[in-house]
Amino acid sequence: MQLFLSYPTLYADICVTYATLSLSYFALSSQSAFSWQSEAWKRVAFGLLSGLALYYLIPDRLDVSTHLFFNFEMIPIILVTFFGGWLSGVTSFLVNVALTEPLSLDNLLIASVLVPLLLLRVWRHKTHRLFYRAIILIAFYRMALAYSQPLRVPWYDVLFYQCAVTGCLAACYHALNFAERHIHAYFSLRDRATIDSLTRLNNRTSIDFKLMSLQAHQKPGGLLLIDIDNFKQVNDTHGHLVGDQLLVQLSEVLMQSLDSADFAGRYGGEEFIVITDRHNTGPIVETAERIRQAMSASVLRLAEGASLSVTVSIGAAIYLPGMAMNKAVEMADDALYQAKRNGKNQVMCSRIMQLDQLGDGPG
């Protein structure tokens, strides 16, 4: 009896499947909760990482008939489809095809299972009921296919192996589902503590931590304080709902205008802050001007076809190692006040940056 002599192999296959998928899921959730809505490269990576399990699982198989065999290779493909979406599932299947005979009966069987899952978009409607319906149908389908072939092993070996596969699928599904719920809960709590609920930018707590981190590590950087011009008048004329829409619009302008390494947050009210790794006057002013021009060009559509366009004033400063961070922020605030007093809709640099500009010259 081929199967009952291989309990250690069966146990090892279950452990490898669970460990590979769980570790891959945790690794891809290091910065944000992984899901079928994650970046494309993460979903492809989830499918590729499942290939590590496939590489181990493929040699361990139960030869059911001359042309058909059972092994655990279907498990990672099904699970990454449920948790990573179609891109993860297709990637995992292609890895499996690359590691085996492309037109084998086993690959055709896996494709015939995968296609309905893709058409049903199981990752969008992932529930325990849907999952168990799927794996029960898959189990009956595989058993029916096995019994349509002249068996090379006793029928109870086939039944036992299929039960092991189904049990492994269920165990791994619930383990990943448990991890998914708790990781999503963790990032949700973290966002509530560090993200502004209206603009989805960093909140004051995150800003203060970022500023303290710069000072603690003695890292130079650029500071931009950004304030919407005539914001109180907008609130008084159009209402606070329109004011909130303007805040969201500015946050979108910031995200589109900044580099990925830049840090943006809502400092308070209609005031925003940008912290950059660049500490030379030229690049900082270029960033500020890009934001100012983008905001001037943006238009907020109001009810009944009306529109509203506002400008921003920006105060720029630099933080250098050895400075007090509150002094750098104060200089940016003074520059912002100067921009407001000079007519608004402009960028003003702190005194240190103005001296730096005087020193910029040929040679």
Tens of pLDDT along 42-95?
A: 999 999 999 888 888 888 777 887 777 777 888 999 999 999 999 999 999 999
Selecting among 39, 101, 270, 304, the annotated active-site residue is 270
- What's the whole-model pTM score? 0.68
| H/E stretch holding 198 | none
pLDDT tens for 196-231 read 989 999 999 999 999 999 999 999 999 999 999 999
Distance CA 42, CA 34 (A): 8
Distance CA 21, CA 12 (A): 14
- The CATH number corresponding to 204-359 among 3.30.300.30, 3.30.70.270, 3.40.50.300, 3.40.600.10 equals 3.30.70.270
pLDDT per residue of the chain (363 residues) written in tens, 0 to 9: 444 446 777 788 888 888 999 999 999 999 889 999 999 999 999 999 998 888 888 887 778 877 777 778 889 999 999 999 999 999 999 999 998 888 877 788 889 999 999 999 999 988 999 999 999 998 898 888 888 888 888 888 888 888 888 998 999 999 999 999 999 999 888 888 899 989 999 999 999 999 999 999 999 999 999 999 999 999 998 899 999 999 999 999 999 999 989 999 999 999 999 999 988 889 999 999 999 999 999 999 887 778 899 999 999 999 998 889 999 999 999 999 999 999 999 999 998 886 665 444 443
Please check whether residue 229 is in contact with residue 292, taking contact to mean a CB–CB distance below 8 angstroms.
no
Residue 270 designated active-site: yes
| Nearest alpha carbon to residue 68 among 159, 163, 148 | 148
Rounded alpha-carbon distances, angstroms, from residue 250 to 106, 246, 253, 265, 270: 54, 6, 5, 11, 9
Q: Count Cβ atoms below 10 Å from residue 52 Cβ, excluding itself.
A: 17
Distance CA 274, CA 265 (A): 7
Residue ranges of the chain that CATH labels 3.30.70.270: 204-359
Distance CA 82, CA 176 (A): 10
